[in-house]
Amino acid sequence: ASAGTVAAVDLGATSGRVILGHVDGRAGTLALDHVTRFANGPVRLASGLHWDLTGLYRDLTAGLAEAFRRDPSAASIGVDSWAVDYALLQGDRMLGEPFHYRDERSGRGVEAVHGALPFDELYRRNGLQFLPFNTLYQLAAERESGCLGSASSLLLVPDLIGFQLTGARLAERTNASTTGLVAVASGEWDDELIERLGLPASVFAPLVSPGESFGPLRTAVAAELGAPSGIEVIAVGSHDTASAVVAVPMRAESAAYISCGTWGLVGVELERPVTTDAAREANFTNEGGVDGRVRFLHNVMGLWLLSESVRWWERDGERIDLSELLAAAASVTGSVAVFDADDPRFLAPGDLPGRIAEWCAEHGVAAPRSRAEFARSIIESLAEAFAGAVRTASVLSGVDVETIHVVGGGALNELLCQRTADRAGLPVLAGPVEATAIGNVLVQARAQGFASGDLEALRALVARAFAPRRHEPAASRTGDASLGPVRRT
Ligand code: LFR
């Protein structure tokens, strides 16, 4: 068939969703049907900060059952989520709920890893920016706790769900690239590195590429979901950012993208990795993309700064209306602090407004006083970090960036998009909001024959179905509220 429907499971750090995607490659159409949305978030247990994977699995299977009720013809399932986090299994049994990447234990692993292998050598091998929670650091911390010894396999979150659904133990490549244990040159598990770090090579599953199959649903699962037997789970760009980049309606040779949700992933798409000293010093990553492309990007803190601040303000039960807060932020006049949105102090959950104020005090900048000013300060700081990362991506990669695409939830934030355009001096094209789910849908649709061609062909479908909103850079706007002193640490 040249048209059909697939089901996408997309798990973000604050919510998950099940979406049906209808794709007709011949007619050039693409449409989404939102089936369910459910909350996600960290759970603090005695052992540290974890995910409630079991609860997520319950919610996503309920969503899939609803999806098959709505459209019994849905041809396959694809799963994506945030990266780096994993479960250890002994046989079929999960050894506890996965740790959340914001758990602080990974810090201990950093010393162990860099003691065994200096970061510059590591970067040449895996091409990854330094993030203290990259899987290899988590595993080094895990090794010290002794848990690793009893594990027979390790599965990253979407692969774990693929395993529960089908029984197949596989490692999808785009997400595996975020572990730090895949060689950037070959795209295969780096066995020598794994051995040097004292990790058990036997726990890592065979790699599969987006578009390949995990196989059919287990019989019991198909019955539970009310899905026709034989329905397969298709590997998609299971790292959410890889799926999002598939759905950026861009011309990769002259565009940068910002996949903006909890994080702001800012970069360009390349055919070859860039692992120069300059790229390492700028902390740019070479993550695996769909169809062997390279996601050359940098992690900026993202809307986490805002959502975690709001969570802090709401801790005594008060409810804050986000759109009212953003409207108030937009009408702030006068200068607000522009802080370094990359500062690692903003990583852990907690009192983010307090930490922003602390940053300002340390840098001799007047701290925001009201919630509206905090929100504005966060938006200006993100916009500044986004613009800076776009410039750096361009310099390091040689891509002559003419437009910036913003996809994900951040595309809804008009002030953020406009200020990014202003600060970068480049037009921002905002949308689609559901880029991650769309990328998931498109890779499945291509595997099913509902669409065909390279990523450019898939992006043409996105551009037709979801025309982006354009923000022109307004030079005059940089004169108002926005411009506090720009200070980077
Ligand atoms: C975005 C994302 C980023 C990754 C971070 C942690 O959702 O997947 O790409 O660096 O979450 O996994």
DSSP state of 486: B
**Average pLDDT across the chain, whole number:** 95
**Residue 296: pLDDT above 50?**
yes
Q: Whose CA is nearest to atom 12 of ligand 1?
A: 83
Ligand 1 closest atom vs CA 241: 9
Q: Are 252 and 398 in contact (CB under 8 A)?
A: no
Q: Which atom of ligand 1 is nearest to the CA of 131?
A: 10
* Residue 424: per-residue pLDDT: 98
Residue 478 reports pLDDT greater than 70 = no
Q: What mean pLDDT comes out for the span 394-399?
A: 98
**Ligand 1 lined by 258 (C-beta under 6 Å):** no
| Residue 145 clears pLDDT 90, i.e. is over it | no
**Ligand 1 centroid vs 243 CA: distance in angstroms?**
12
What is the average per-residue pLDDT within 70-98? 97
Residue 45 has pLDDT above 80, yes or no: yes
Residue 50 confidence (pLDDT) above 50: yes
In this prediction, residue 479 carries a pLDDT of 43
Predicted pLDDT at 1: 79
Distance from residue 239's CA to the centre of ligand 1 (Å):
8
pLDDT of residue 147: 79
Residue 8's DSSP bridge partners are: 19, 78
Yes or no: say if 256 and 235 are a contact pair by the CB < 8 Å rule.
no
- The finding on whether 83 has its CB within 6 A of some atom of ligand 1 is yes
245 within ligand 1 shell (Cβ under 6 A): no
Least confident of 147-151, 273-277, 341-345, 348-352: 147-151
Give the pLDDT score at 483.
40
Which pLDDT value is given to residue 485?
A: 37
Is 82 near ligand 1, meaning CB less than 6 Å away?
A: yes
CA of 467 to the centre of ligand 1 (A): 26
Pull the structure tokens for residue 404. Answer: 């910036």
The residue ranking higher by pLDDT, 481 or 398, is 398
Question: Residue 240 CA: which ligand 1 atom is closest?
Answer: 8
Strand partners for 43: 50
pLDDT tens digits, 26-37: 999 999 999 999
354-359, Cβ contacts within 8 angstroms, sequence gap of 24 or more = 354/312, 356/305, 356/309
Q: What is the pLDDT of residue 441?
A: 99
What DSSP letter does each residue of 226-255 carry, written as one string? TPPTT-EEEP---BHHHHHHHT----TTSE
Residue 259 CB less than 6 A away from ligand 1: no
Residue 455: pLDDT over 60: yes
Q: What is the pLDDT of residue 481?
A: 43
Which residue of the set 10, 240, 340, 422 is catalytic?
240
Q: What is the residue with the minimal CA distance to atom 2 of ligand 1?
A: 82
Helix axes 371-397, 414-424, angle to 10 degrees: 50
- Listed residue (275, 271, 276, 265) closest to 290, CA to CA: 271
Q: How far is the CA of 442 from the centre of ligand 1 (A)?
A: 20
When pLDDT is cut at 50, 70 and 90, the band that residue 346 belongs to is very high
Q: Is the pLDDT of residue 237 over 60?
A: yes
Expressed in angstroms and rounded, the spacing between residue 103 Cα and the centre of ligand 1 is 14
d(C-alpha 242, C-alpha 246), whole Å: 7
Residue 486 has pLDDT above 80, yes or no: no
pLDDT reported for residue 477: 46
The response to whether residue 81 sits with its C-beta less than 6 Å from ligand 1 reads no
115 — phi, psi (to 5°)?
Answer: -65, -40
Residues 6 or more apart whose CB falls under 8 angstroms from that of 313 comprise 320, 353, 371
| Distances 99 to 57, 95, 132, 434 between C-alpha atoms, Å | 16, 11, 14, 26
Tell me, what's the pLDDT at 143? Answer: 85
How much distance in Å is there from the Cα of 241 to the middle of ligand 1?
A: 7
What percent of the chain clears pLDDT 70, i.e. is strictly above it? Answer: 97
Residue 220 has pLDDT above 80, yes or no: yes
Strand 255-260 to 264-270 pairing: antiparallel
400 is catalytic: no
Does residue 216 register a pLDDT over 80?
yes
pLDDT of residue 287: 98
pTM, full prediction: 0.96
Dist. CA 359–CA 354, nearest whole Å: 9
Please state the rounded mean pLDDT for residues 339-343. 97
Pull the structure tokens for residue 276: 């120069």
